[in-house]
Amino acid sequence: MQKVIIADDEERICRLIEALIDWKSLHMEVAAVAHNGLEAAELVRQTEPDILITDIRMPGCSGLELIEKVKKERPELEIIIISGYAHFDYAKSAIKFGVGEYLLKPINKAELTMTLERLRTKIEGRIREQEDKQQLERKSRHDVQRLRELLLERLLEQKEEPLTFERLKDEYYLDMAPGCFQAVWLKIDSPEGELGEEGKRIVIERAGRLLLSSLSGKCFDMLCKEQDWGGYIGIINYTKERQEEIRRILKDCLNQLESGKNLYGDLFFSMAVGCVVTEPSKIGKSLREASVMIEERLVKGTGRLLDYMPEGHSSLHEKSLLEKYLRTITHAIEIMSEEEALKALDEIRTEVSGVRDVRGYELLELVNSCGALFLSQVESRDRREKLRHFTERCRQCGSQEALFKVLDGLQKTYIRELVQQREGEMVRPIRQAKLYIQNHFSEPITQEEVSSAVGLSSTYFSALFKKEEGEGFARYLTAVRMEKAKILLRESNASVSEICRRVGYNDLKHFTHNFEKATGLKPSAYRKLYG
């Protein structure tokens, strides 16, 4: 609904205008009525109408003064002047203020209605134009942001052609200038499930806002991208004179995050910076250095600004460690032993603890490789997805301890699944064997016959049956037959010899012996007592 204000010092004119028009059919409503110019100006401020209908002459301030005042505050306000004077000067003044609708008294219903319809169409068109423009601007901003994020991804993967100032401006809309370029990597580590997805989202957004606001006004331009596993990567561009100031700002930003981390739960913040470069073509080098440097938190601890890059590699022999791990973990999987799996992990842990100069990225790569090797030995239809989840969990670890804990969790989870699967595979044939016995106990069945029926060798079946039931096949079969015999003795008039035959015995003496052994009574005595 479009809102209309009517302003005229004659109350009858106001009432006439209100009554004359079918406002609902025009999708309009009279929001307020004023009887002088000052009142009308205040109502325009309060109600923010779309259309003002005003007389030229009113007490307090004239219609033209009112128009001048409200047009300064609301340039888009549409105005209809109603006057009893057909003076050119009035129309000329109205045009000067952007008013093109000038109607003479007495008011003509059809003329006023047509004028309102024309203004309604104009307002609706303007609103659509504004919405289209806003949508286009949003899309444009989104497209530019996505373009910049792709640039960061390509730089990390070393797939981007050398950058120049011209390319940064023309292709990525970045106003970067000669000076220093430096990569920044903010990492947020949290235990799985600690915050939940929504809580994690809030923390990441707040951290991002703090980082960007802290650097705002200190840099020529910034390029930043949120990381799926928690944190931000970015490139900042600043003058050489600000180098120490920028480092201090980053450190202060990290300290603020650290001081408030207990509000969110068990969170860990770290920050790494790459080398300072002066050429756009070297931005990728700084970015990749920061991506390696951020992993140093695994060995140096979280809550630090990591800005020193040791040269070369440590003395960690990853290949021999992985070969040793593979042998031990393969054996652990074969025997389905959590203890053996832990032994494989402890061997890695012990070896790493003996290397003084181990690098964070080496440690991460080692644990990721162990996880991949472990999963390669486990039969699984969704192995790739499990590996992706494991790698993501490793990226959220802020220490060696947490990293090895994730690997330990992976090993325990899937070895337990193997045990359950194997137990299920063992239970199934025993369940089938018991059903077979229930259906065939009256026949002279043997262990060989039943084991063959469930697809197992007699020897393996015997051992498996005893393990699951706590007694051998023969004892179980006898117990089933005796229970059936007791039911027949209590509930039928069949002779003992007939019952003997019906429960699978050909020898009455043998049946009687087994029955007396099971119940402490002879069959006839049992019937007298319970029949």
One domain for residues 462 and 409: no
Mean pLDDT of the chain: 87
Buried b (16+ CB within 10 A) or exposed e, 100-114: ebbeeeeeeeeebee
One domain for residues 173 and 257: yes
One domain for residues 335 and 288: no
What are 101-109's contacts with CB under 8 Å, separation 24+? 105/13, 107/13, 107/16, 107/17, 107/20, 107/82, 109/20, 109/21
Domain end among 103, 126, 149: 126
One domain for residues 91 and 171: no
Average pLDDT across each block of 10 residues of the chain; the chain has 531 residues. List them in order. 92 91 94 92 93 86 85 90 70 69 86 92 89 69 80 85 88 90 91 67 84 90 82 92 94 87 76 94 92 91 82 72 90 87 92 86 92 85 85 88 93 86 75 90 92 89 86 92 92 92 93 92 89 69
CATH number at residue 287: 3.30.70.270
Q: Residue 22: inside a domain, yes or no?
A: yes
Q: Residue 136: inside a domain, yes or no?
A: no
CATH number at residue 503: 1.10.10.60
**H or E element, residue 45:** helix 37-47
Which runs of consecutive H residues, i.e. helices, occur in 260-399? 283-293, 297-300, 318-335, 338-353, 360-376, 383-395
Provide the pairing of β-strand 28-34 with 51-55.
unpaired
One domain for residues 348 and 469: no
Residue position matching structure tokens 């497209």? 143
One domain for residues 187 and 279: yes
Total of domains in the chain:
4
Query: Which is nearest to 250 in space by CA: 214, 297, 283?
Result: 214
Q: Residue 34: inside a domain, yes or no?
A: yes
Q: Residue 312: inside a domain, yes or no?
A: no
Percent of the chain scoring above 70 in pLDDT: 91
Task: Please tell me the predicted confidence (pLDDT) of residue 89.
Answer: 63
The domain containing residue 103 runs over which residues? 2-126
One domain for residues 120 and 215: no
pTM over 0.95: no
One domain for residues 177 and 93: no
**Cβ proximity of 396 and 228 under 8 Å:** no
Q: Residue 132: inside a domain, yes or no?
A: no
Q: Residue 157: inside a domain, yes or no?
A: no
Beta bridge partners of 2: 28
One domain for residues 240 and 299: yes
Helix (H, G, I), strand (E, B), or coil: what is residue 182?
Answer: strand
Q: Residue 397: inside a domain, yes or no?
A: yes
List pLDDT tens digits, range 238-295: 999 999 999 999 999 999 888 876 666 678 899 999 999 999 999 999 999 999 999 9
Task: Please tell me the predicted confidence (pLDDT) of residue 376.
Answer: 87
One domain for residues 266 and 337: no
One domain for residues 184 and 109: no
One domain for residues 337 and 290: no
Q: Residue 430: inside a domain, yes or no?
A: no
